[in-house]
Amino acid sequence: MKYLKILFTTALVFGLTSCDILDNPAPQQSLDTEDVLNDPEGIRGIVTGMYDGLQSANISGGAYNYNAELLGDNIVWSGSFLQWQDLEQRNLQADNLIFSNWWDLSYREINTANILLQSVNEIDDPTFTDQERNLIRGEALFARGMLYFKLAYMFAKPYWDDPSTLAVPIRTTPVLGVPDFENLERRPLNEVLARAADDLEQAANLLPDVTLRADRRATRYAAMTYLMRLELVRNNYSAAAGYAQNIIDAGFRLTSDPSGPFESEFSSESIFEIIHTPQDNPGVNAGQNAFYTPEYLGGRGDIQISGSFVDAINQIVTDEQRAAIDAAGFTVQDLRLNLLDGLVPQSSATLKFRDGVTNADNVRNSRLAEVLLSRAEALTEDAADLASVPQEAYDLLNQIRVRSLRVTDDEGNDQGPSLIEFAPADFNSKEELLDAILLERRIELAFEGDRFYTLKRKAIPVTNRAGTFQTTHPCMVFPIPQGEIDANPNMVQNPEC
């Protein structure tokens, strides 16, 4: 792999003008690398650099959201950037910068995490406590586990199709010089997920057991959310349900309105967010705000809602429920429509990310609504049949519906949720209940990067303007970047799209 070029920690931390420290002597005002790695302040600076790297639009600062969504069916691309047009049209070529940027930035931050994990144990300074040492280890393990999970999710075929399919290389030691370089091979998907799970489990035991840290960095529950997602991918529903329950028990609360998580940063249901500020964000030509926000709000308006999504939101209230509501002389409204710029497909956008002027909206990496729906799904999947599904699964699903759906009389008086809540009698099979949970998930988490993740792990074919593709299709899996293929003789390319 091209470690010289892409896998060293951020230039900001080391005061370098180039990422290649081996070919470029440190400027006069910079610390030697050895001094930085042996100094508590240097290590703290590397942690800051790691979080700054995660903020990149090429990974968790944006691409985890819109790149994945463009392989799904909720959105369409109408902008002028050809690399994203190709992604939506399933023209996945190895020289597309989307793939090399995702790969390069991920491995750069994995190397930063590896540097921290090695160096933090070698500092001999009385001011550097074991508590701080363990906290830094937890943050590095969280970042590395998250990055490996996301790499495996996009660069490998689905787990359900073949757990041993090739995914990505695993590197757990830092690259600090030429002797550290190796041309690593891709490892099987089940091995990469096991590596990510081990990292995230350790992180969950080391990170603070709070819902929100003062510095807004990762907590125990951010790691648990990724463990929950990982176990859903591995169809380990009992484990996924357990992680979800731990998160629920921590005290996160749904906001009173579905707009709440997007009107204020770090709301009561926020588990982990990637911070963007007016001074520090991906800019006007990248990131969720630039692409999602309509032009009249300062964005580019490149991403718009699909006709398929419009059809889906119109199915949230079932025909039977709508008939009962009509018979009572009531009306029903989905408050999540307030987060859409109209319902005209391919000319309207999401309003979850409104700040197109300063691009300062945080990326909502995880929030409670996802956890509730994930536990509902896991409990249902774990049941032998519909009769065995616990009432809790319905209650969790209804929590999301009750927050979003309002039934009112002709004077606007709220008539309560009974006409839109689900009960076991509303379904003929476990599969019908699962469909309802996944539909609710599609609408609730729309435009947040969840849709393709769900389609891929559930083996649901994806239909968009390019046609219909099963998620095993070569055009639904990221190719290994061409630069990586050229540089590493041990690298194997995915089947051609």
CATH number at residue 50: 1.25.40.390
Per-residue model confidence (pLDDT) at position 19: 34
- Please report which confidence band the pLDDT of residue 40 belongs to, taking 50, 70 and 90 as the band edges: confident
Total domains in the fold of the chain: 1
Query: Using an 8 Å Cβ cutoff, are 220 and 208 in contact?
Result: yes
Note whether residue 414 is domain-resident: no
Q: How far apart are the first and last CA of the chain?
A: 23
Q: Residues of the chain with pLDDT > 70: what percent? A: 93
Per-residue model confidence (pLDDT) at position 346: 77
In the predicted model, what is the mean pLDDT of residues 60-78?
A: 95
> Which uninterrupted H or E stretch holds 334?
strand 331-334
C-alpha span between 221 and 415 (Å, rounded): 36
Note whether residue 74 is domain-resident: yes
**Sequence letter at residue 395:** D
Higher pLDDT, 342 or 164: 164
> Which of 49, 53, 69 minimizes the C-alpha distance to 61?
53
- 31 has a pLDDT exceeding 80: no
Rounded to the nearest integer, the mean pLDDT of the chain is 92
Note whether residue 125 is domain-resident: yes
Helix count (H) and strand count (E) of the chain? Answer: 20, 8
Note whether residue 162 is domain-resident: yes
Query: Using an 8 Å Cβ cutoff, are 231 and 243 in contact?
Result: yes
- 169 has a pLDDT exceeding 50: yes
Note whether residue 169 is domain-resident: yes
Distances (CA, A) of 237 to 232, 241, 379: 6, 6, 7
Q: CA-CA-CA-CA torsion for 323, 327, 331, 334, nearest 10 degrees?
A: -20
- 2 has a pLDDT exceeding 90: no
In 207-300, which residue ranges form alpha helices assigned H by DSSP? 220-233, 237-249, 260-263, 287-292
> Which of 228, 236, 159 minimizes the C-alpha distance to 370?
228
Per-residue model confidence (pLDDT) at position 20: 33
Note whether residue 54 is domain-resident: yes
C-alpha span between 47 and 132 (Å, rounded): 12
Per-residue model confidence (pLDDT) at position 33: 65
C-alpha span between 316 and 420 (Å, rounded): 9
Query: Using an 8 Å Cβ cutoff, are 400 and 440 in contact?
Result: yes
Range of the domain at 159: 1-207+461-497
Question: The whole model's pTM is what?
Answer: 0.92
Note whether residue 118 is domain-resident: yes
